[in-house]
Amino acid sequence: MNTEIEDVLAAHQAHRAIRPHGPYRVKVGDAEFNYQDVVVIDPVPTGQQILDAAELRPTLQYSLYQVLTNGLLEELRPDETTDLRANGVERFLAFRSDRSFRFQLDGRVFDWGLTFISGRTLKKLAGVDAQANDVWLEVRNDADRLIEDKEFFDLSAPEVEKFYTAQRKITIIVNGRKKSVEQTELPFKDVVLLAFPDAVFDEKTVYTVTYAEGPRENPEGTLVEGRSVKLKNGMVFNVARSDKS
């Protein structure tokens, strides 16, 4: 009965523990990201079991990938297992493996068996620190394009795409001056030090930090001591220093 099926995605979204026994409902998508509901009995199924449950036959013609919450695509071989009770294991992509797509990454040529590839997967293939680096697409006669971690880039165009990785640099404005940082998030004290390199954090001095033109999750506001703020290029900070009276 449907009421006995544990919906893995719904459990994840509700931040609750997934039932220790099946059946389980997961999502299996195709090259166009059209997902179907698939019911799997085993809590630790193989790739073969998931393909069978999705009625993708002959299964030898398909490659199955697990879509991780960080945007990474991780291949699940026919004899390899995954635990559906683990956090974030609810989506899979299945592709016919009768062709491959070639691209260049940091000067090396790769052949990829899927139509799409994520920014996070490109970073993994390049062997770089995903938190400290960005991946870019070379664009002829135009500005190069940033590929986000969770973005799935379509490789099916006729030309061979050229990607490269580069150490992350974010430019922010602090008290009217441009500052370059490598982090995507800054704590209160680091922002203050960008404004006042000689800052002393004691009981006599008060620092007030406000910001504007930030990312969607924090477009503007006040940053208080002990907290951090997510950054974006062009974000503006105003830092004031005063003595306690």
Q: Are 118 and 73 in contact (CB under 8 A)?
A: yes
Token digits of residue 220: 């503007």
**Greater confidence, 35 or 88?**
35
Tell which of 77, 96, 115 closes a domain: 96
The verdict on 139 and 180 lying in the same domain is no
Q: What angle do CA 216, 66, 7 make, to 5 degrees?
A: 80
The verdict on 175 and 117 lying in the same domain is no
Mean pLDDT of the chain: 89
pLDDT at 1: 44
The verdict on 6 and 91 lying in the same domain is yes
Q: Is residue 82 scored above 70 in pLDDT?
A: yes
The verdict on 211 and 181 lying in the same domain is yes
Which domain range does residue 50 map to? 2-96
The verdict on 181 and 194 lying in the same domain is yes
How large is the average pLDDT for residues 81-90? 86
Tell which of 146, 167, 188 closes a domain: 167
How large is the average pLDDT for residues 99-110? 88
DSSP 101-148: EEEEETTEEEEESSSEEEHHHHHHHHT--TTTEEEEE--TTS--EEE-
For the beta carbon of residue 10, count every other beta carbon within 10 angstroms.
12
How large is the average pLDDT for residues 108-124? 87
Q: Is residue 62 scored above 60 in pLDDT?
A: yes
pLDDT at 33: 77
How large is the average pLDDT for residues 141-150? 91
Tally of domains within the chain: 3
pLDDT at 132: 84
How large is the average pLDDT for residues 33-58? 93
Q: Are 62 and 78 in contact (CB under 8 A)?
A: no
What are the pLDDT digits (tens) for 189-210?
A: 999 999 999 999 988 999 999 9
Q: Are 237 and 211 in contact (CB under 8 A)?
A: yes
Q: What angle do CA 196, 242, 188 make, to 5 degrees?
A: 50
pLDDT at 2: 47
Token digits of residue 239: 């830092």
Strand-strand pairing, 161-167 and 133-137: antiparallel
The verdict on 50 and 71 lying in the same domain is yes
pLDDT at 245: 63
CATH of residue 228: 3.10.20
The verdict on 19 and 86 lying in the same domain is yes
**Greater confidence, 33 or 118?**
118
Rounded to 5 degrees, φ, ψ at 125 are -65, -35
Tell which of 40, 64, 96 closes a domain: 96
CATH of residue 73: 3.10.20.90
Whole-angstrom distance, CA of residue 68 vs CA of residue 120: 10
- The region of weakest confidence among 10-14, 30-34, 159-163 is 30-34
For the beta carbon of residue 233, count every other beta carbon within 10 angstroms.
11
Helix, strand, coil share (%) of the chain residues, nearest 5: 15, 40, 45
How large is the average pLDDT for residues 114-134? 88
Taking CA atoms, 159 is separated from 56, 99, 206, 212, in Å, by: 30, 15, 57, 40
pTM of this structure:
0.55
The verdict on 157 and 76 lying in the same domain is no
